Structure 1
Amino acid sequence: MKVKMLSRNPDNYVRETKLDIQRVPRNYDPTLHPFEVPREYVRALNATKLERVFAKPFLASLDGHRDGVNCLAKHPKSLATVLSGACDGEVKIWNLTNRKCIRTIQAHEGFVRGICTRFCGTSFFTTGDDKTVKQWKMDGPGYGEEEEPLHTILGKTVYTGIDHHWKEAIFATCGQQVDIWDEQRTSPICSMTWGFDSISSVKFNPIEVILDMRTNTICWNPMEAFIFTAANEDYNLYTFDMRALDTPVMVHMDHVSAVLDVDFSPTGKEFVSASFDKSIRIFPVARSRSREVYHTKRMQHVICVKWTSDSKYIMCGSDEMNIRLWKANASEKLGVLTSREKAARDYNQKLKEKFKHHPQIKRIARHRHLPKSIYSQIQEQRIMKEARRRKEVNRRRHSKPGSVPVVSEKEKHVVAVVK
């Protein structure tokens, strides 16, 4: 007679402790677990609540400027190095690890309008209201040496922006015109003009889209070279595909004042925007509404914002002479996580994704505390938008069929596309 038996290694059922605690095999038959879904729902609800309880994104402030911070730049090779330019012509180099200023340069007389680093990280360029473009060494001067620029270019007009090519020794400036410069020459190798309006920002990859109101700056998606996002004066941000510029891919609407700066995360899935309404917001690229809004009591009009190259932190510079450092994920725990903490984090994340459309969990996850000024402006704009919608509906109802066409939100703001 043959007897068949199941044989298992006891080592697989004993925990790695001094106590002989036997593991109990689990049967995943759903009929044996009738309360599994309600139990997981409660866990998802608790995980969502705890995420909001531990959402403390503010990390530190870099104090040292004596005037408003007007521009920021990242080091292409070092995550811990950041450059900032102020309205008094002062440029500071910061170490984010120590949260201290490692070097200060009186670069210009008046505003520092733009700052960018060379692709190899050995030097950086600044431009200001004194009609000059200056190149500086990234490393400080030696003992007894004076702080002098490597090169100085004196222009005829004020330059309002500057950007450097990622691989070649070429940089571009903007103002009354866009100039392309070679680092070894004192005159531009190419100049471009469009009408009589001044240009406030320049980035590599040429494009021109005419919107209802002025665009303050643009940022290219690092993972999709043909996608860029524009920060506009009409409180919105527009994501365009340069292969089809007739309509934007997405209109991002949540700010209640002019959007002054925008920067993509290294993953290309999200971007952060800085606004005149004293707040910064994080938008997913494929959604029209923001997932986070950051603000403090002292923070004034936010002029510039940058996402760090490791995709974990956000920096912003504002009018009250302060650079603030934020977590990109507000409830993320800093430091090294144990394997159990990582497993619990991943499990809670999956639960929140599974029950994210449940009304109560959705309400808690979406709730954000807003300053009274922003909240009141949101209510006012909601009333104005509803009034415009009613007016358009009444015009269409009392007009000849087809005379008042229905225009989508994406098509309303694009005036023309010049190719």
Structure 2
Amino acid sequence: RFQMKVKVLSRNPDDYVRETKLDIQRVPRNYDPSLHPFEVSREYTRALNATKLERVFAKPFLASLDGHRDGVNCLAKHTQSLSTLLSGSCDGELKVWDLTKRECVRTLQAHEGFIRGVVVRYCGTSFFTVGDDKTIKQWTMETPGYGEEEEPLNTILGKTVFTGLDHHQNKSVFATCGQQVDIWDEQRSSPIRSFSWGVDSFSSIRFNPVETDLLGSCASDRSIILYDMRESTPLKKVVMTMRSNTLCWNPMEAFHFTCANEDYNLYTYDMRFLEKPIKVHMDHVSAVLDVDYSPTGQEFVSASFDKTIRIFPKNDGHSREVYHTKRMQHVICVKWSSDSKYILSGSDEMNIRLWKANAAEKLGVLSHREREAANYSQKLKEKFQHHPQIRRIARHRHLPKSIYHQKNELRVMKEARRRKERNVRKHSKPGSVPVLSEKEKHVVSVVK
């Protein structure tokens, strides 16, 4: 009837015995907070050191792929292979790169004049190019054998110049834009559907990676137009104060897209509510030429005429990172690699550059202790990120002199405009000069 408790000392040798004699001594830890009265101050010092070391080890530039004889105009990722990149230049030359070896594995003269767009088919067996010579060409991904000619699998002659190209995620359908937006079936030499909305030219076209029948395009009348491939007419368009150069859909959130604008900003919209953008992303000091999302959908990278590329968190108005080199000129195209670790940029001075997405990340295989230390440092930095000293060190970036002065000049101009608006409102009839938020200022109208 009576239960007797017997307390036994139980020691697991794994808790205190070293695996090898080269290992450090294992020390038992008691995590009771009352025994660690100065824990927060010690953690703060560690977080400060981790933040400083992150800036010391921030070396984002990895490699430069040179070989083009004219400016790089467009880039395309391979849909099945992480290490394969395609690039088209302004002299009609297309190169296929092996990123692991950092060398060009194939070169072909695809078009006369500029290559305006390159896209790889969803299965990865072939790719499409469009150029200034009014043709769409389909090429096999396989390198031709010794003595064989580089011939396209298929050539379609168009009536006008094509300025953009994109392929459907899982159908043998692709879209082009120029004087109008055309939807093509790979088996036919004429478009199966054409859209135009009183616009004389389009600059880019993108399929939605989630809702795969939706498309978005940027037009020359400062508008962004949305289409459904299953319908005969466009869905709706939003007209902005300045022209958008290109747009990119968020790969994780079906209705969100970000457009790169001529007014130095990027705008993230929800396609269901186009009256104003969800977020305005500012930091560039010249026109933004290209934008691409990371596969996680949490960040995007932008390329600008101001010779820099910037990385923005999707919900943040300012960039977390800015990359530049002395030799890099106007950045025309940018891509985020499919494993979310690298960024590729193509610029005016004929080079493709490979960057780390996290500037201070250590590449290669990490030992268990290295990984544990990196995770611990990351958590400490997140815990203390709003402390003034840590925030100042983490946010500071050294900018080229021209960009630094231009940034200050833009700030003065913006403040002057704000002051003038305030004075006008002060001396006007109450309510006659409405207060517009930054989001509402840039949208002219929404047409459905």
TM range (shorter): over 0.9
Q: Cα deviation per residue 1:295-342 (whole Å; 9 max; x = unaligned)?
A: 000000000000000000000000000000000000000000000000
Change in Cα spacing, 1:337 to 1:20, as seen in structure 2 (3 Å) is closer
Within the alignment, does 1:151 sit opposite 2:180 as a pair?
no
> Out of 219, 231, 243, which is 2:272 matched to?
243
Change in Cα spacing, 1:198 to 1:294, as seen in structure 2 (3 Å) is same
Within the alignment, does 1:366 sit opposite 2:369 as a pair?
no
- List aligned pairs for 1:262-301, cutoff 5 A: 262-301=291-330
**Contact 1:219 1:264 survives alignment (8 Å):** yes
Within the alignment, does 1:224 sit opposite 2:253 as a pair?
yes
Q: Cα deviation per residue 1:170-204 (whole Å; 9 max; x = unaligned)?
A: 11111111111111111111111122431000112
> Out of 119, 124, 130, which is 1:121 matched to?
124
- How much has 1:32 moved relative to structure 2? 2.4
Q: Whole-Å Cα distance in 1 between the matches of residues 45 and 379 of structure 2?
A: 13
- How much has 1:24 moved relative to structure 2? 3.9
> Out of 283, 286, 304, which is 2:333 matched to?
304
Equivalent residue number for residue 218 of structure 2:
none
- How much has 1:405 moved relative to structure 2? 1.1
Q: Cα deviation per residue 1:146-189 (whole Å; 9 max; x = unaligned)?
A: 11111111111111011111111111111111111111111111
Within the alignment, does 1:43 sit opposite 2:46 as a pair?
yes
Within the alignment, does 1:334 sit opposite 2:363 as a pair?
yes
Alignment TM-score, normalising by the size of structure 1: 0.97
Within the alignment, does 1:91 sit opposite 2:91 as a pair?
no
**Contact 1:67 1:87 survives alignment (8 Å):** yes
Q: Which runs of 5+ in 1 are unaligned?
A: none
Q: Whole-Å Cα distance in 1 between the matches of residues 11 and 176 of structure 2?
A: 72
Q: Name the % identity.
A: 78
- List aligned pairs for 1:315-354, cutoff 5 A: 315-354=344-383
Equivalent residue number for residue 412 of structure 1:
441
> Out of 256, 259, 262, which is 1:233 matched to?
262
- How much has 1:8 moved relative to structure 2? 2.3
Change in Cα spacing, 1:15 to 1:194, as seen in structure 2 (3 Å) is same
Q: Whole-Å Cα distance in 2 between the matches of residues 21 and 278 of structure 1?
A: 48
**AA at the equivalent of 1:187:** S
Within the alignment, does 1:9 sit opposite 2:12 as a pair?
yes
**AA at the equivalent of 1:147:** E
Equivalent residue number for residue 105 of structure 1:
108
Equivalent residue number for residue 402 of structure 1:
431
Q: Whole-Å Cα distance in 2 between the matches of residues 20 and 179 of structure 1?
A: 65
Q: Whole-Å Cα distance in 2 between the matches of residues 250 and 336 of structure 1?
A: 37
- List aligned pairs for 1:164-175, cutoff 5 A: 164-175=167-178
Q: Cα deviation per residue 1:50-81 (whole Å; 9 max; x = unaligned)?
A: 00000000000111000000000011000011
Q: Whole-Å Cα distance in 2 between the matches of residues 247 and 103 of structure 1?
A: 45
Within the alignment, does 1:34 sit opposite 2:37 as a pair?
yes
**AA at the equivalent of 1:37:** V
Change in Cα spacing, 1:244 to 1:32, as seen in structure 2 (3 Å) is same
Q: Cα deviation per residue 1:14-62 (whole Å; 9 max; x = unaligned)?
A: 2223389874432333332222111111110000000000000000011
Within the alignment, does 1:211 sit opposite 2:211 as a pair?
no
**AA at the equivalent of 2:124:** G
Q: Whole-Å Cα distance in 1 between the matches of residues 386 and 243 of structure 2?
A: 37
> What SS does the corresponding residue of 2:101 show, helix, strand or coil?
coil
**Contact 1:14 1:21 survives alignment (8 Å):** no
Q: Which runs of 5+ in 2 are unaligned?
A: 208-213, 216-225, 227-236
Change in Cα spacing, 1:350 to 1:2, as seen in structure 2 (3 Å) is closer
**AA at the equivalent of 2:184:** W
Change in Cα spacing, 1:414 to 1:27, as seen in structure 2 (3 Å) is same
Q: Which moved more, 1:73-82 or 1:1-10?
A: 1-10
**Contact 1:240 1:249 survives alignment (8 Å):** yes
Change in Cα spacing, 1:138 to 1:10, as seen in structure 2 (3 Å) is closer
- How much has 1:418 moved relative to structure 2? 2.0
Change in Cα spacing, 1:146 to 1:285, as seen in structure 2 (3 Å) is same
Q: Whole-Å Cα distance in 2 between the matches of residues 141 and 22 of structure 1?
A: 60
> Out of 191, 197, 200, which is 2:200 matched to?
197
Change in Cα spacing, 1:139 to 1:20, as seen in structure 2 (3 Å) is closer
- How much has 1:209 moved relative to structure 2? 2.0
Q: Whole-Å Cα distance in 1 between the matches of residues 54 and 28 of structure 2?
A: 32
Q: Whole-Å Cα distance in 2 between the matches of residues 193 and 342 of structure 1?
A: 53
Q: Which moved more, 1:372-381 or 1:206-215?
A: 206-215
Change in Cα spacing, 1:140 to 1:19, as seen in structure 2 (3 Å) is closer
Q: Whole-Å Cα distance in 2 between the matches of residues 196 and 28 of structure 1?
A: 67
| Dislocated runs of 4+, deviation >6 Å | 19-22
**Contact 1:211 1:414 survives alignment (8 Å):** yes
RMSD between superposed Cα atoms in Å: 1.6
Q: Whole-Å Cα distance in 1 between the matches of residues 127 and 243 of structure 2?
A: 28
**Contact 1:90 1:107 survives alignment (8 Å):** yes
Equivalent residue number for residue 254 of structure 1:
283
Change in Cα spacing, 1:332 to 1:189, as seen in structure 2 (3 Å) is same
**AA at the equivalent of 2:350:** M
Q: Cα deviation per residue 1:204-241 (whole Å; 9 max; x = unaligned)?
A: 22313211111111101111111110000010001111
> Out of 409, 416, 427, which is 1:387 matched to?
416
> What SS does the corresponding residue of 1:380 show, helix, strand or coil?
helix
Q: Whole-Å Cα distance in 2 between the matches of residues 22 and 64 of structure 1?
A: 53
Q: Which moved more, 1:177-186 or 1:314-323?
A: 177-186
> What SS does the corresponding residue of 1:266 show, helix, strand or coil?
coil
- How much has 1:396 moved relative to structure 2? 1.2
Within the alignment, does 1:81 sit opposite 2:110 as a pair?
no
**Contact 1:14 1:20 survives alignment (8 Å):** no
> What SS does the corresponding residue of 1:187 show, helix, strand or coil?
coil
